[in-house]
Amino acid sequence: MPLLLLLAGLAVMAVLPLAVPWLQFTLTIALAKGLAALGVAVLLRAGLISIGHAMFFAIGAYATAFLMRDLAVTDFATLIVASTLISALSGLLFGAFLVRYRAIFFAMLNLAVSMVLFSLLAKLYGVTGGTDGIRVATPSVFGMALARPVFADVLYYGGLLLAGLVGFAVHRYLKSPLGAALSAIHTNEVRLEYLGVSAWSVLLVAYTLSATLAGLGGAIAAMAIGHVVPEFAFWTESGHIVLVAVLGGIGGVVGPFAGSIFLEVVQTLAVGFAADAWNLIIGLALIGVIFFLPRGLYGLMETRRRTSP
């Protein structure tokens, strides 16, 4: 059933920009942040909250910018693959140290590392462009130079396809023995160790996966926006990603995407119609979800499935 939900969601997402063209950019960013939120949701399965995951979003985004600027890589697919791999390696490296910690220590250490990265991105002007950031030109697609609006279509539908494939893979992972072991860390890590399973290894896989997802999201965002800035790694962005995951719900892979789309659309509408009060509107929306949908928007879908004949 979650797969049907994923397919239905993808179908709606595919036709939505055709009906409301101005939504395409918003939805592209929602997909990018949804991927990062899915990464956070993976870790939430183990009961771990990362308040620093924007660093991997930023690593993916900056990897794209560096590859284009310094190595003259312009191909869309190469950029996506390489940026995602760089994020995965970063996740493996930081994760080897960070997954030793639990609860507030894990959350705060992630925050600390992300703020170090933010500072480096902001201060190393000669390398990172400092607070001005780096411009990301329009990539080519299989050797073809495309006009910006055409590339935006390719990025959106390519991103949608990637989100579908990644969502399916993560769904399989969460249902696998390795995914079950990840959830088991949340409930009884001692028993898991007594089953001969290394909780550290299980978490390292999850952390690397979550960094990979965030990095993929960052690469898509960099290409969509055409510019990367240190704020991508700022702690408020990390908070935003956690917010998206909680809002959407961690019960299934569709949840973080639903949360991301909801938040981006509400934010866009709120900025347009109530520029001074959009934070208030988002805060109220979040309070509403926490009070009435403790399992997030995905919980609402689950309830509907259970009550439908």
Partner 1 sequence: MTTPLLKAENLQVAFAGVKAADGVNLEIAEGEFLAIIGPNGSGKTTFLNLCTGYIRPLAGEVFLDGRPITRLAPRTIARQGIARAFQIPQLFTDQRLIDNLMLAVAARRGIWDAFRPLDRRTHRDEAMQLLSMVGLEDVAEQSAATLPEGLRKLADIAIAFALKPRLLLLDEPTSGVSAIERFGLMETLMTALRQARVTALFVEHDMEVVERYADRVVVWDQGRVMADGKPDIVLKDPRVLQNVVGVA
Among 191, 274, 283, 305, binds partner 1 (CB under 8 A): 191
Q: Which ranges of the chain would DSSP assign to H, the alpha helix? A: 2-19, 23-45, 54-70, 76-98, 103-123, 125-128, 148-175, 177-194, 199-225, 235-248, 254-273, 278-292, 296-307
Instruction: Confirm or reject binding of residue 127 to partner 1 (CB under 8 A).
Output: no
Binding mask 136-175 for partner 1 (x = CB under 8 A): ---------------------------------x--xx-x
Among 131, 176, 279, 303, binds partner 1 (CB under 8 A): 176
The number of CA neighbours under 13 Å toward the Cβ of 305 is 10
Please say which residue, 67 or 246, places its beta carbon nearer to partner 1: 246
Could you say which residues in the range 202-241 bind partner 1, by CB under 8 A? 202, 205
Please say which residue, 135 or 175, places its beta carbon nearer to partner 1: 175
Please say which residue, 189 or 231, places its beta carbon nearer to partner 1: 189
Please say which residue, 129 or 299, places its beta carbon nearer to partner 1: 299
Q: Which among 179-187, 230-238, 244-252, 266-274 is the span making contact with partner 1, rule CB under 8 A?
A: 179-187
- Residue 94: exposure state from Cβ atoms within 10 A (0-12, 13-18, ≥19): buried
Interatomic CA distance for residues 83 and 4, integer angstroms: 30
Please say which residue, 4 or 195, places its beta carbon nearer to partner 1: 195
Interatomic CA distance for residues 103 and 178, integer angstroms: 21
Instruction: Confirm or reject binding of residue 96 to partner 1 (CB under 8 A).
Output: no
Instruction: Confirm or reject binding of residue 82 to partner 1 (CB under 8 A).
Output: no
Among 127, 193, 273, 303, binds partner 1 (CB under 8 A): 193
DSSP string, 216-272: HHHHHHHHHHSEE-GGGGSHHHHHHHHHHHHHH-SSSTHHHHHHHHHHHHHHHHHHH
Q: Which among 18-26, 106-114, 123-131, 190-198 is the span making contact with partner 1, rule CB under 8 A?
A: 190-198
Instruction: Confirm or reject binding of residue 184 to partner 1 (CB under 8 A).
Output: yes
Instruction: Confirm or reject binding of residue 179 to partner 1 (CB under 8 A).
Output: yes
Interatomic CA distance for residues 175 and 205, integer angstroms: 15
Among 119, 198, 279, 303, binds partner 1 (CB under 8 A): 198
Among 14, 178, 266, 286, binds partner 1 (CB under 8 A): 178
Question: Are 113 and 98 a contacting pair, CB within 8 Å?
Answer: yes
- Residue 42 token pair: 């993976």
Instruction: Confirm or reject binding of residue 254 to partner 1 (CB under 8 A).
Output: no
Q: What is the DSSP letter of 276?
A: T
Helix (H, G, I), strand (E, B) or coil at 141: strand
- Residue 185 token pair: 């860390």
Interatomic CA distance for residues 58 and 56, integer angstroms: 5
Binding residues for partner 1 (CB under 8 A)? 169, 172-173, 175-181, 183-184, 186-188, 190-198, 202, 205
